[in-house]
Amino acid sequence: MSRKILAAGNWKMNKTPSEAAAAIEAMKATCASDEVEVLLCVPAIDIPAAMEAAKGSNIQIGAENVYFKDSGAYTGEISADMLLDVGVKYVILGHSERREYFAETNETVNAKMIQCFAKGLVPIMCCGESLEQREQGVTMDFIRQQVKVGFLGLTADQAKAAVIAYEPIWAIGTGKTATSEQAEEVCKGIRDLICELYGKEVAEEIRILYGGSVNASNAAELFGKEDIDGGLVGGASLKPDFGKIVNYK
């Protein structure tokens, strides 16, 4: 099964709308690729400006979060319909920073996964362990729980359309990167779990990304692994050099 590489940027809380537009204009030429799907997930307020700037290019614009209700008294939240109305297809769910700073749980991530598929959004569900958990040898136990609860209630067709991003917390924004072997080991473990839950066909189709200080110098080695289908890229996606990750070969 041939899975198309996805190079997805996560801008986090960076860039104003005008800065976002300028950055994307600068990236258009460097990010051109027929072989790699290119996505920038930007702050909600940047989405319209980013969409306009990305016109005529292969850069897709996604969101960093969504709420699991259609509408209502949820001050500060953003709904799936709002994202769909401005042309968003992909949305990041359950990033470790959302879990740590904003009390997201496996259960709320699952509610958001279900809402995404009810509305037609494609979730990029994040999972990953802390340094302490890795040192205690419970990495896969922890990640299996995140994935099993996150995917609870999803059909096989929904599961194969989702994207999972493995992001070891100890390698996010620290400059540390899991070795390609460490990253592949966990991504294969995730794929094996999807096989257990949904069967071989779904496991072969679902895309699993690695995130954790992905940059131009390590992208080729990481993306060349059998079970790594691209990256969820942080700081490096804010710069024109993101194109070097897109064109990693």
- Strand, helix or coil at 147? helix
37 is catalytic: no
Active-site annotation holder among 64, 104, 129, 167: 167
Q: What is the pLDDT of residue 199?
A: 98
pLDDT by residue for the chain (249 residues), tens only, comes to: 589 999 999 999 999 999 999 999 999 999 999 999 999 999 999 999 999 999 999 999 999 999 999 999 999 999 999 999 999 999 999 999 999 999 999 999 999 999 999 999 999 999 999 988 988 999 999 999 999 999 999 999 999 999 999 999 988 777 777 889 999 999 999 999 999 999 999 999 999 999 988 999 999 999 999 999 999 999 999 998 899 999 998
Class of domain 5-246 (CATH, top level): alpha beta
Give long-range contacts, CB 8 A cutoff, 24+ apart: 12-17: 12/43, 12/64, 12/97, 12/234, 13/43, 14/43, 14/238, 15/42, 15/43, 15/46, 15/238, 16/46, 17/45, 17/46, 17/48, 17/49, 17/50
Q: How far is CA 157 from the centre of its chain?
A: 19
As a whole number of angstroms, the distance between CA 188 and CA 84 comes to: 32
Measured CA distances, 94 to 25, 106, 201 (Å): 29, 8, 25
Measured CA distances, 58 to 5, 55, 123, 142, 224 (Å): 14, 8, 20, 36, 22
244: burial class by Cβ within 10 Å (0-12, 13-18, 19+)?
Answer: middle
Active-site annotation holder among 95, 97, 104, 129: 95
Q: What is the pLDDT of residue 1?
A: 54
DSSP state of 214: -
100 is catalytic: no
Q: What is the pLDDT of residue 135?
A: 87
Q: What is the dihedral of CA 187, 206, 200, 158, to 10 degrees?
A: 130
Q: What is the pLDDT of residue 187?
A: 97
Domain-by-domain residue ranges, the chain?
A: 5-246
Question: 7 φ, ψ to 5°?
Answer: -100, 105
Q: What is the pLDDT of residue 185?
A: 95
Q: What is the pLDDT of residue 176?
A: 72
Q: Is the pTM of this model over 0.85?
A: yes
DSSP state of 217: T
